[in-house]
Chains A and B, each alone.
Chain A
Amino acid sequence: ENVLTQSPGTLSLSPGERATLSCRASQSVTTYLAWYQQKPGQAPRLLIYGASSRATGIPDRFSGSGSGTDFTLTISRLEPEDFAVYYCQQHGSSPPTFGQGTKLEIK
């Protein structure tokens, strides 16, 4: 299966700062890559699909980039509600797999 590795494991930033989260796949997924946000006690929320397309209702401070094996989720200016765990997920091959997550915490 295609293993996704996210970095860093934890990112400590302040509101207003820029966040850059990385996801690397062990095999190419072209652009079949999605990003999710998960807050405690909630189901994940789709942010980005197709590596760079924002899901419905997602603010434009969230952006995704990359193709092949290397991907980035950028949050341009952090809002208090953005502090959460973020997962990347590939669906270029079966089974769909997830990264282990990046926890974005308030500094």
Chain B
Amino acid sequence: EVQLEQSGAEVKNVGSTMKVSCRVSPYNFTYFYMHWLRQAPGKGLEWVGVVDPEDADTKYAENFEGRVTITADTSTDTTFLELSSLRSEDTAIYYCATLAGSSLAYFEYWGQGTLVTVSS
């Protein structure tokens, strides 16, 4: 079964940059489109963006354009989400998620989530 292991919780200052990782095992990383989503406390789910590890092609939600970078390191089977110019409203649990062997954007496998708290 596909396992997604995310990095630990972070506390960041307003205006700083966060970087969260998600490692895929035990399958070939390039088989998966890796998506990132987030969920603010007590709120619903929001799609942030996606990376295709095979060619590093990315697509981002408009709300995050200019602040977000999603990358994939095929040597470590890890995807990274970087979000800059953090605001208090970026406080959320960030999830990586994927669907094996398909570019369709629904999500069968999820990481455990990483809580990022942005404080002033």
Contacts and interface: CB of A to CB of B under 8 A. Distances in A.
Interface residues of A, number: 21
Given A94-B59, A95-B62, A44 B44 contact: no
A96 B105 contact: yes
B45 interface: yes
13 contacts: A32-B106, A36-B45, A43-B95, A43-B110, A43-B111, A43-B112, A45-B110, A46-B108, A89-B107, A91-B106, A96-B35, A96-B105, A98-B44
B107 A46 contact: yes
Contacts of A97: 47
A75 B66 CA distance: 42
A89 B110 CA distance: 15
Nearest to A46: B108
Given A43-B111, A43-B112, A43-B113, A95 B106 contact: no
Say whether chain A's binding surface is mostly helix, strand, loop, or mixed. Answer: loop
Interface of A: 32, 34, 36, 43-46, 49, 55-56, 87, 89, 91, 94-101
A36 B44 CA distance: 12
A7 to B, nearest CB: 14
